[in-house]
Amino acid sequence: MAIAIPAKLPVPTLDAVLIQNAWTDRPHRHLRDG
C-alpha cells in the first residue's frame, strides 16, 4: 500500500485533510451522509 501512514505521526493524513475540507465546506452534511 502506497498510503500506509502510521497514525502516530503528528502529520495530518489524506483522510484527515479531506475530512477537514469537508468540515469547513459543509460540516453537517458530511456527518449526516457518513
pLDDT digit string (tens) for 1-13? 566 666 666 666 6
What is the number of domains present in the chain?
A: 1
- pLDDT value at position 19? 74
| pTM higher than the cut 0.85 | no
Average pLDDT of span 16-31: 66
C-alpha cell at 20: 477537514
Q: Which domain holds residue 1?
A: 1-34
Average pLDDT of span 5-34: 64
What are the residues whose beta carbons fall under 8 Å from the beta carbon of 22, sequence distance 6 or more? 30
For residue 10, give the amino acid letter: P
C-alpha cell at 27: 460540516
